[in-house]
């Protein structure tokens, strides 16, 4: 009796799966093609982005957010040195919340090209701490303005690294810290 019940159950599941696999009547959706915008990020957009990141650092990390950024809010394209300067402001604001000391990142100092020599210490700090990718266009000196995609990548990478340094891993949620694994 158990064998018959098992066989009938198997047959029902197999029939349901075979009918579930029929996709001949479905339309295949074509994904929308995204075109990369070549429009440069303006200072006004960058200031709003940095203000929002500062607000999030204040609410999540409980640090004092920089109230004013030295960047003028206008329609001129933001430069790489201005972005690096604002990253420095945000880094120093988030520094009291850092819980983890990360290994220093390696980079080739000969490849770094910055517009302002007075920013060398700041750029070295951001590179060593891993807040900026060492071979990205932000620090290797490409002269064209930042596109929206590039700017978004730089800000996302920076925020991810700040988050990583201000988070203490727990054995409950981090599998490689669990004993016996």
Q: How many CA atoms lie within 13 A of 96 on its CB side?
A: 9
Please give the pLDDT value at position 74.
85
Please give the pLDDT value at position 151.
92
177 secondary structure, DSSP code: G
Please give the pLDDT value at position 22.
56
Q: Is the dihedral of CA 44, 50, 51, 56 positive or negative?
A: positive
122 secondary structure, DSSP code: H
Tens of pLDDT, residue by residue over 101-142, are 878 888 888 888 887 788 889 988 999 898 998 888 888 876
User: Is residue 97 within 8 Å of residue 63, measured between CB atoms?
Assistant: yes
Q: How confident is the model at residue 50 (pLDDT cuts 50, 70, 90)?
A: very high
Closest CA to 50 of 166, 128, 162: 162
Predicted confidence (pLDDT) at residue 17 exceeds the cutoff of 60? no
Domain spans of the chain? 43-165
Considering only 21-25, 29-33, 162-166, which range has the smallest mean pLDDT? 21-25
**Which string of DSSP letters, residue by residue, matches 69-107?**
-SS--SSSBPPHHHHHHHHHHHHHHHGGG----PPPPP-
CA-CA distances (angstroms) from residue 119 to 51, 128, 139? 21, 14, 11
Predicted confidence (pLDDT) at residue 18 exceeds the cutoff of 60? no
């Amino acid at each position: 009796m158990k064998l018959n019940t098992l066989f009938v159950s198997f047959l029902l599941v197999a029939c349901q799966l075979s009918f579930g696999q029929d996709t001949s009547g479905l339309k295949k959706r074509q994904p929308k093609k995204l075109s990369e915008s070549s429009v440069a990020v303006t200072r006004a957009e960058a200031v709003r982005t940095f203000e929002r990141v500062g607000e999030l650092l204040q609410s999540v990390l409980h640090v004092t957010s920089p109230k004013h950024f030295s960047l003028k809010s206008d329609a001129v394209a933001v430069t790489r040195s201005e972005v690096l300067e604002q990253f420095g402001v945000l880094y120093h604001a988030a520094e009291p919340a850092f819980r983890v000391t990360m290994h220093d990142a390696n980079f080739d100092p000969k490849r770094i090209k910055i517009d302002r020599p007075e920013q060398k210490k700041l750029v070295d700090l951001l590179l060593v701490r891993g807040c900026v990718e060492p071979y990205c266009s932000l620090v290797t000196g490409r002269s064209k303005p930042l596109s929206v995609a590039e700017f978004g990548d730089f800000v996302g990478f920076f925020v991810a690294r700040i988050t990583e340094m201000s988070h203490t891993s727990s054995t409950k949620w981090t599998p490689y810290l669990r004993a016996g694994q």
